[in-house]
Amino acid sequence: MNTTFSKATTSNQIEDSTKKEIEKVTTKPNATLNEQILDLLEIIKEDEEIIKILRKECLIEDSTKLGNKKKFNKDISSSVSRYIREKQNGVIGLKGPAIIVLDLNNLKEINDKYGHDAGDTYLYSLSESIRKYTREGDTDGYRIGGDEFVVIIDNANMKESHIVAQRIKRQLHHEFQKMCAEKNINLPDIKVSASAGYSTVHEVLHDINDSVYDEKTIKEITEKMFKIADKRMYEEKKIFKSEKTISSKQSDKVNTQDPVSFMRF
C-alpha cells in the first residue's frame, strides 16, 4: 500500500484508504485465496506503521522538532512510574527523574525591536542548545508553550540538574550567533539569555512504600515537580529583570552627566 499521509491525516482518512486497498485485493482477478490473504496481511502491516508514524507526529512540536506538551506529560509520567517501580523492586543507586524549565529573557523586546525573524532565531537557538545536551532515553527536550521549554533528565540530583541547565544557557549565545550568520540576519550584539528552574522527584516523593501508585497519583507528583521548577524559573527571571533595571538606570545616569566632569571622574 503505497499511500503517503501527512501530519494532518485523520483516522477516518486512513480507514477510507484501507477500505479501498482491501477492495482492490478482494476483487483482484485470478488471485488465489492465499495470495489475497498475503496481500491483506501486507495492508494491515503497513497500516500499523502509518498509525505509529501519526502517533509520533502528534507528539512533536512543529517548528523546533522537540517534543510538545503532550509528549512531556507522557514522558515525565513514564519516568516517575518507572522510578517508583524500580525502587519498590529494590533497585539501589537511583536518583530519580528531574526536570528543568527554561524560558527566554527579552523575547518580546527582541521581536518588537528587530522583527520576528530575530525572535524566531532566538527560539530556535534555545531549542538547538537543548538538543546539544539531550540523549534519547536519558535526557529529552520539549517545547511546551511560546518561549517555555522543559528538559527531563531521567536520573539526576539537584546538582546535576543545575549543571545541565547552566550548560544549556551558556550554549544559547553561541547558537544564536551561529544561526544569525547562517540566515544572514545582521544584528548588533544582542545579549541573549534564558532563566531556568529545576526540581527532582525527591522533593515531592519523600518515601516510597508498597502502595499502588495509580495514574492520578503519578499525575499529582509530576504536576508538583513542574510547579516547583516553574516557580524557581520565575524567581530567576525576577532577578534578571531587577538587574536589568538597575543596569539601565546606571546607564541613564552616566549618559546625563556632564561629559567633562565624567571624564575627570
Domains of the chain (ranges, CATH numbers): 11-57 (no CATH), 69-249 (3.30.70.270)
What is the per-residue pLDDT across 7-18, written as a single tens digit (0 to 9) for each? 444 545 555 555
**Per-residue pLDDT reduced to its tens digit, 30-53:** 666 666 666 666 766 666 665 555
Q: Which of 39, 42, 53 is nearest to 4 (CA)?
A: 53
Percent of the chain surpassing pLDDT 90: 45
- Backbone phi, then psi, for 152, in 5-degree steps? -105, 125
Burial of 222 (C-beta count, 10 Å sphere; 0-12/13-18/19+): buried
Task: Yes or no: say if 75 and 144 are a contact pair by the CB < 8 Å rule.
Answer: no
Question: What does the DSSP 8-state code read for residue 203?
Answer: G
What pLDDT is stored for residue 253 in this prediction? Answer: 47
What are the cell numbers at 207? 518515601
Q: What is the CA radius of gyration of the chain?
A: 26
